[in-house]
Every structure is written in structure tokens, then in C-alpha cells.
Amino acid sequence: MTLAQESTSLQFECETGNYHTFCPISCVAWLYQKIEDSFFLVIGTKTCGYFLQNAMGVMIFAEPRYAMAELEEGDISAQLKDYEELKRLCLQIKRDRNPSVIVWIGTCTTEIIKMDLEGLAPKLESEIGIPIVTARANGLDYAFTQGEDTVLAAMAHKCPKSVKEEEEKEERNAIHKLLNFGRKKEDISQEESEYKDHPPLVLFGSLPDPVVTNLTLELKKQGVKISGWLPSKRYTELPVIDEGYYVSGVNPFLSRTATTLMRRRKCKLIGAPFPIGPDGTRAWIEKICSVFNIEPQGLEEREGKIWESLEEYIKLIRGKSVFFMGDNLLEISLARFLIRCGMTCPEIGIPYMDKRYQKAELDFLEKTCNEMGVPVPKIVEKPDNYNQIQRIYELKPDLVITGMAHANPLEARGINTKWSVEFTFAQIHGFTNARDILELATRPLRRNNNLKELGWEKLVKEEAKV
């Protein structure tokens, strides 16, 4: 292969390094808030408890719906009966909180001592009368955001199968009645007529409610009706998923969920780039429309207006380089968007790469690089930490997006960094949230510009006042 060919086609490497990411049990931080009638029970050691306590310490004003089942020496040496202890804890949860579902989160310890959580759950849920979803989110096998993937894959098995069940459930749903209270039947039927005739579509991926509303409205403009979201706001409102339903993911780290929906529920996956950035959002909507034989309307103009509104940020990063160390599996989508903004990207580190699930995104990345006239990044799965840092020293990128562990050491060596975890918790999907991505990405560069303009002493005084 010639050098010219290498610069215009994707290259993949796997260095089999360790995962340098947050523990995947941190998915509890956003899932317990998303699924409002749930309770998450993390089964692990005190180390897991300390991590959760620190990771979710910012949420002290919200009443948490998660707890730790801490394994002691007696449990690990099998002196206590797993079933009886978990039954005691779940009965206490039922008495105190009475959730619609209890989610067991397995950790590294449950893997090592071979706790049969999947075997215990069906017997216990029939005994206590509350559904139990078992998900493994251990850091031995999964990277940071893949914890959500295992939870949603397990929850997909609990989705109802028949439309009749869904209709009966909606009749009992007080929220549904409240939303339509006072509305004329003509108005409701008119709203239904705004949609085109197409097969049912279910979207999967946990997003904040404003983003869910935004993406739902974007598809509604094209006449596409969303039959449900996995996960839903309430466990009792899980979407119907029948054989032949179409499904589409909104995040790059949900490959296990996609596989479960295709193999176990016989769904048809819409392979599209992910709705991150105006370019990705447009491509995602266009792909869904093309599958349903719908001609998209107004997307080019919509995307153009968004790009115009982002120019103040884009001029700060145009012509600069960005390097991804690999943390949350959002790296491919973020790199594609930043390249479209005018940056170059020599390397994308990623903890886990599913080429089938991310095929559309990878193709879109390659297409974007060729259209922008820049080299295609090298993609390194499970990068070796030492080797990757040596490459950063050689390449001297203008910005490194990295996990929290490496940010301060790189900053001390004069390299601008941004925590990748911030992109995980920020609202980055859809047309309107592209500004938030650039707000995060440009913050280190804007900080440096302010340092040059103000000088160190003046800046320290200003920060002291704040």
C-alpha cells in the first residue's frame, strides 16, 4: 500500500493494552435518573462503594435510587448464602422504595467468585413480586460507557412483545391520559396524520429528556414516528418490540444491545452514523428516512444554519490537531465532527471497536476526511498507554482528549487536554447541541488565549476574586 493510499483509507491497529477508563458501574449515575421507577443494586466490594460515592457525590441534592451490596470476606469465601442475602436486601428495597424494577449490577468481584446472578434473579423476582434485571458491568470486560450497554441489552429481554399488551398498558397509563386531557379527538387524529406510513421504529440509548424530545421532533418533521425508546422514563412503559420492528441506536457504545435486539428479538437494525454534530444528525435522519422510503425535507438548510452559528468556535480550532487517547467509545463520532470543523486528527484511541455496529460512522469518518482534504486518522483499539504517550510527544497535537488519569501529567508537559468524561455527561446529540461539544473542546484553547492576553499575575488575581 502506498503512502497516498494510507492517508485516504482507514487503518486499524490493536495494541491489547489495559482499559484506561472509568469503571463501567458508573452507568448507574445516569441510568437511575433516566429510569424514574427503578432501583440499582451494585454487588461488589467497598472499593466499588467508594468509587460510586465519589463519582456521584455531585448529586447530593437528589434522592438516590441506588445502593451497594458490599461483599465481605465471609461472602467471598462462600460462608454466606448468596440467595438469602440478596433476598433480604431486595425485600428491604421493596419495603422502603417499592420500585417497578430492581437492576442488579455485577462487578469484577462477582465475576471472580462466579456468583450466578442470572440464575438467582428469576427465582427471587417471582418470590418478591418485582422484576429483576441482571447486568454485568465489570471493569475486567467492559470499558466506561459499556455498562449502559449491558443494562440495556438485559432490559431488552423484558420488553413486551404484543401490541395488544401495549394498548392495554396505555389505557391504564395516567400520564398518557393527562397529556391528552382537554384535547379534541380531531386534534389527536390530525397529529397522527402528520406521520408517514412506515413500520414501527424503536430508538435505543439513554439520553436526557430534552434531547429525547429534540430528536423525536426532528424525526416528526420528516413524518417519522418513534414507537418507543429503550430505556423509557419508566420501566412500566418499556416499548413493545416485536419481530420485524426497526431499531436504531443513538450512541456508538451500544453494540451488545444492538446484537440482542437483532438476534433475540429479530429486529432490523438501521445502520446509520450517530446523531452527534449537525453533520451526524443530518446523516442519521437521512438514513432513517431512506429506509422508510421518505424524502427528507429541509435538512440541508437546517444543517447550514447550525454551522453558521458555530463559526465563532470553529475559527478557534480550524487548522489545529486533536488526539484521542480512548475512554468512552464516543471517539469516532467526536473526531468526525471536529474534522468537519477544520481540525486534523492523527490518531483515535478507542477501548473497544465493533466495526459492524459502527460501520456507517466509520464510512462517514472516511468520507469526511476526504471531503475536507485531510489524512484519515489511524484507529487504535485498546491502545498501549506507554506507546500512545510517546506518540503524543512526537506528534505534539494542539489538543488531547483523554481520561482523567492522564490529563494533569500531560498538562504539566505543556499539552492541552480535555477530559473525555465531560462529553459523556454533556448533551451532545442533535442539531442544537453541537455548540456544547465545541464549548467543551475549545475551552483549553480559549483558556490559553486568555493567559496570553491577561498575563499570569492578572489571571491569578481574577481567579482569586471568583
Q: What is the pLDDT of residues 322-338, one digit of tens each?
A: 999 988 999 999 999 99
Q: Report how far residue 366's alpha carbon sits from residue 375's, in angstroms, rounded to the nearest whole number.
A: 9
User: Looking at the domain assignment, is residue 17 inside a domain?
Assistant: no
**Over residues 107-132, mean pLDDT:** 90
Final residue of a structural domain among 228, 261, 293? 293
Q: Do 241 and 261 contact (CB within 8 A), yes or no? A: yes
Q: Are residues 331 and 356 in the same domain?
A: yes
Residue 77 has pLDDT above 70, yes or no: no
Q: Which of 157, 125, 112 is nearest to 41 (CA)?
A: 125
Per the DSSP assignment, residues forming a β-bridge with 41 are: 67, 104
Q: Are residues 246 and 377 in the same domain?
A: no
Residue 24 has pLDDT above 60, yes or no: yes
How do beta strands 201-204 and 246-249 pair? parallel
Sorting pLDDT into bands at 50, 70 and 90, what band is 191? low
**Lowest-pLDDT choice from 39-48, 107-116, 176-185, 247-256:** 176-185
User: Looking at the domain assignment, is residue 115 inside a domain?
Assistant: yes
Q: What is the pLDDT of residues 255-304, one digit of tens each?
A: 999 999 999 999 999 999 999 999 999 999 999 999 999 999 999 999 99
Q: Report how far residue 338's alpha carbon sits from residue 334's, in angstroms, rounded to the nearest whole number.
A: 6
Residue 3 has pLDDT above 50, yes or no: no
**Percentage of residues in the chain having pLDDT higher than 90:** 64
| Residue 48 confidence (pLDDT) | 86
Sorting pLDDT into bands at 50, 70 and 90, what band is 63? low
55 three-class SS: helix
User: Looking at the domain assignment, is residue 171 inside a domain?
Assistant: no
**Over residues 23-34, mean pLDDT:** 89
**Over residues 20-34, mean pLDDT:** 87
Scored b (16 or more CB within 10 A) or e, 67-94 reads: bbbebeeebeeeeeebeeebbebbeebe
Q: Are residues 338 and 425 in the same domain?
A: yes
Decide which of 196 and 372 is more confident.
Answer: 372
Q: Are residues 321 and 449 in the same domain?
A: yes
Q: Are residues 289 and 309 in the same domain?
A: no
Q: Are residues 446 and 316 in the same domain?
A: yes
Question: Greatest CA span in the chain, whole angstroms?
Answer: 69
Average per-residue pLDDT in the chain? 86
Q: Are residues 322 and 212 in the same domain?
A: no
Domains contained in the chain, number: 3
| Residue 110 confidence (pLDDT) | 87
- Grid cell 436526557 — which residue? 208
Q: Are residues 246 and 391 in the same domain?
A: no
Q: Are residues 283 and 309 in the same domain?
A: no
| Residue 156 confidence (pLDDT) | 96
Residue 183 has pLDDT above 90, yes or no: no
Burial class (CB in 10 A: 0-12, 13-18, 19+), 407: buried
User: Looking at the domain assignment, is residue 177 inside a domain?
Assistant: no
User: Looking at the domain assignment, is residue 107 inside a domain?
Assistant: yes
Q: Do 254 and 149 contact (CB within 8 A), yes or no? A: yes
**Lowest-pLDDT choice from 106-110, 175-179, 452-456:** 175-179
Q: Are residues 338 and 275 in the same domain?
A: no
| Residue 76 confidence (pLDDT) | 57
Q: Are residues 289 and 236 in the same domain?
A: yes
Q: What does the DSSP assignment read for 262-295? A: HHTS--EE-----SBHHHHHHHHHHHHHHHTT--
Instruction: Report the CATH number that the domain containing residue 411 is assigned in CATH.
Output: 3.40.50.1980
User: Looking at the domain assignment, is residue 444 inside a domain?
Assistant: yes
Q: Which of 228, 119, 113, 96 is nearest to 104 (CA)?
A: 119
**Lowest-pLDDT choice from 40-49, 58-67, 77-86, 316-325:** 58-67
**Lowest-pLDDT choice from 8-22, 94-108, 183-197, 227-241:** 183-197
Q: Strand order of the sheet with strand 417-419?
A: 11-14, 378-381, 347-350, 322-324, 399-402, 417-419
Q: 47 phi and psi, to 5 degrees?
A: -60, -45
How do beta strands 101-106 and 399-402 pair? unpaired
Q: What is the pLDDT of residues 207-261, one digit of tens each?
A: 999 999 999 999 999 999 999 999 999 999 999 999 999 999 999 999 999 999 9
User: Looking at the domain assignment, is residue 149 inside a domain?
Assistant: no
Rg (CA), the chain: 24
Residues 6+ apart with CB under 8 A from 51: 23, 25, 26
Q: Which of 350, 354, 421 is nearest to 383 (CA)?
A: 350
User: Looking at the domain assignment, is residue 6 inside a domain?
Assistant: no
Q: Are residues 112 and 201 in the same domain?
A: no
Q: Do 130 and 103 contact (CB within 8 A), yes or no? A: no
Q: Which of 85, 96, 95 is nearest to 63 (CA)?
A: 96
* Cα–Cα distances in angstroms (integers) from residue 361 to residues 9, 27, 115, 253, 260, in the given order: 14, 23, 37, 12, 20
Asked if the bond preceding 231 is cis, omega within 30° of 0, the reply is yes
Print the domain residue range for 232: 188-293
Final residue of a structural domain among 293, 319, 334? 293
| Residue 80 confidence (pLDDT) | 61
Residues 6+ apart with CB under 8 A from 431: 214, 218, 278, 281, 282, 302, 303, 306
Q: What is the pLDDT of residues 8-18, one digit of tens each?
A: 688 899 887 77
Final residue of a structural domain among 273, 293, 313? 293
Decide which of 192 and 53 is more confident.
Answer: 53
Residue 382 has pLDDT above 80, yes or no: yes
| Residue 340 confidence (pLDDT) | 97
Q: 12 phi and psi, to 5 degrees?
A: -120, 140
Residue 189 has pLDDT above 70, yes or no: no
| Residue 449 confidence (pLDDT) | 78
